[in-house]
Amino acid sequence: MIELRGVTKAWPGGAGVQALDLTVPEGTCCALIGPSGCGKTTTLRLVNRLVEPDAGSIRIAGQDALAQDPVQLRRGIGYVIQEGGLFPHRRVGANVAVVPALLGWDAARTRARVEEVLALVGLDPAVYRDRWPHQLSGGERQRVGVARALAADPPVLLLDEPFGAVDPLRRAQLQEEVLALLKRLRKTVLLVTHDVQEAVRLGDSVALMRAGRLVQHAPPAAMLARPADGFAADFLGADRALTRLGLFRISDAARDAATVPGEALPEATTLRDALSAMLERGVRALPVTEGGSLSLEALLASR
Amino acid sequence: MIGWLRSNPDVFLDALVQHLALSVVGLGIGVALALPAALLLARRPVLADWTSGGAGVLRTLPSLAVLAALLPLLGVGFTPSVVALALLALPPVLLHALVGLRGAEPAAVEAARGMGFSPWQSLLQVEVPLALPQIFAGLRTAAVQVVSGAALATFIGGGGLGDLVTQGMALLDTAQLLVGGIAIALLALGTEAGFGWLQRRVTPG
C-alpha cells in the first residue's frame, strides 16, 4: 500500500505537486497519467524520495517513508525506468543481483534468486545471465529491468514509463505479461505513463493529473464513462467510449443463443474489436467461437 | 650512434633511468592529485566548471614556461622537475575524468540512485566504471606529455635523456645528440602505444 497525504513539492519553474492525496491499495496498480509537466513523474519520485516533499506524509506498507533513511528506503522499493536503466558495464546476472548485493545477501542465495527472477520475466537464465545489456533487444532489456526490480522481493514497485522504448508491436504483449506477473506476485505498483491506452489497460485505477493536482482518480472504466471535467474528457480523447469498450471482452456481454453466419470470434476478443468487426462486415451480430452470438444491442447494453 | 652507445653505455643507461624516474614520479603525483580531485568534484558542477577552466589554462602553458616559472621558486634538480611534470600531467587527467564522470549514462546513474546506492557507491560502482575509457584517455595524453616533457628537465638540472641532447649540442657530438633525441621519441611512441592499448582494454565493444 502506498499512501500520499497532502504531499506538496514546489519547483522553481512551477509544475510541482500541490496537496496531493493518493492511495494505492495493496496488490493493485495505479497508473499516473497527464500531460507533460503535470507532476506525474515528480509524484513517482516522491515515493522513493528521489524528490523530497516540502510538506505532507508518505506511507509505504504502513511505514512512514519520510522517517526512514532514503537510501535504505529505496532498497526496499522496486524501481524500473525507461529502457531499464541497466548498467552497461555489468552482465545481465550482475545487473539483476544489484539490490541483493546492496543488502548483503550471500552468493548462493543471490545466484538462486537471480535465476528465479529471470525465469519469472520469461528469460532463460542459462541463456541470458552472462549476456551484456548491449546484446539485448529493447524488450529484453526491459524484462531484465523488471527482474532487477523484483530481485529483493519488494512489496512496492515504481515504474517510470517502463514500456516507452519497446517497439510498439511487442509493447502490448510485454505490458500484459509484466502486469500479470506483478498481479500474481501481489505487488503494489505505481506506474507513470503518458499513454491513455496503456494507463487504462494496466491500471486497476487511473490517476489523472494536471498542473500538480489530481483531477480524477478512478477505475479505468469509470473514468472513461464519466470524466470529471472537460479537461479529463479531452485528455481521455474523443474516442474514450471506444477505449472503454476495449476494457471488456465478449465473455463480459450477454450472449444470444442464435447462431449467425460468418467467421466466429473467440470470447476473449475485446468488445472494441467486436464492434470493429461488425462495422467492417456491416452486420449487427457476430458468431462466437465458444457458441452462440453477440448482437450489437447486447454489446451496447454491456456498457 | 651505435659507436657512441657502445663506448658510453653507462651514460645512456643513467640518463634513461633518470628519465623514467622523472616520468613515473611526475605522472604518479599528477594522477594521485587529479583522480581524487575529479571524484570529489564530480558532484559539484559549479566547482567542477571552475576547476576545468583552471586546468584548461594550465594545459595551454608551454612546458618550458612552467619549468622556467618554477626555477626561482624551487631551484634546480630532480624535485622541481618532478613538480613541473606533475603539473603537466594534472590537467588532461582531471579534465578527461570529469568529462567521463559527468557524462556517465544518465539512465544507469538514475537507476543506481533509485535502487538505493549511496552517492559514493554510485560513484565508485557505476560512474567510475562507465568513465574508465575517458579516464584512460586522460592517462594516455598525460603520460605522453610527461615523457616528452621530461626531456626538458635538463634545462633545470633535472637530468634525463634531455641531458644527452643538450650535451650533444654543446659538444657538437651528433651521435650523442641523436641517441638522446631518438630515445626520447621512441619512449614517447612506446608510451602512446602502451596506454593506447590499455585504453582499448577498458573500452567496451
- CA nearest to A165, candidates A188, A136, A128: A136
pLDDT value of residue B68: 80
Q: Which of A187, A213, A239 is the last residue of a domain?
A: A239
Please give the pLDDT value at position B203: 78
Interfacial A residues in 92-111 facing B (CB < 8 Å) = 98-99, 102
C-alpha cell at A128: 541470458
Q: Which residues of A touch B107 (CB under 8 A)?
A: 81-85
Q: Is there a contact between B115 and A99 if contact means CB atoms under 8 Å apart?
A: yes
A270 plus A209 within the same structural domain: no
Which chain B residue lies closest to A154 (C-alpha atoms)?
Answer: B115
Asked if the Cβ–Cβ distance from B114 to A148 is below 8 Å, we say: no
Three-state secondary structure along B58-95? HHHCCHHHHHHHHHHHHCCCHHHHHHHHHHHHHHHHHH
Domain definitions of chain B by residue range: 2-202
Q: What's the pLDDT at B42? A: 86
Same domain flag for A84 and A125: yes
**Domain range for A260:** 248-301
Q: Are A133 and A281 part of one and the same domain? A: no
Per-residue exposure over A200-226, b if at least 16 CB sit within 10 Å of its own CB, e if not: bbbbbbbbbbbbbebbbbbebbebbee
CATH number at residue A184: 3.40.50.300
Q: Looking at residue A110, what is its pLDDT?
A: 95
* In a shared domain, residues A253 and A224: no
Single residue among A239, A263, A279 that ends a domain in this structure: A239
Separation between Cα atoms, residue A199 and residue A179, nearest integer Å: 11
Q: Identify which of B181, B160, B156 has the alpha carbon closest to the alpha carbon of residue B22.
A: B160
**A183 shares a domain with A94:** yes
Count A/B contacts: CB-CB distance under 8 Å.
Answer: 62
Report pLDDT for B22. Answer: 93
- Over residues A40-58, the pLDDT tens digits come to 999 999 999 999 999 999 9
B191 Cα to chain A: minimum distance (Å): 27
- Ranges of residues in chain A with a pLDDT under 50 are none
Residues of chain B predicted below pLDDT 70? 205
The pLDDT score that the predictor gives to residue A174 is 86
Closest chain B residue by Cα to residue A135:
B205
pLDDT of residue A107: 94
- Give the residue from A22, A15, A8 showing the smallest Cα distance to A191: A22
How far, rounded to the nearest angstrom, does the alpha carbon of residue B9 sit from its chain's CA centroid? 28
Superfamily name and number for B2-202: MetI-like (1.10.3720.10)
Please tell me whether residues A83 and A50 are part of one structural domain: yes
Please check whether residues A125 and A154 belong to one and the same domain: yes
Residue at a domain's end among A194, A218, A239: A239
Q: Return the C-alpha cell found at B90.
A: 594534472
Domain count, chain A: 2
Q: Say what the pLDDT of residue A16 is.
A: 87
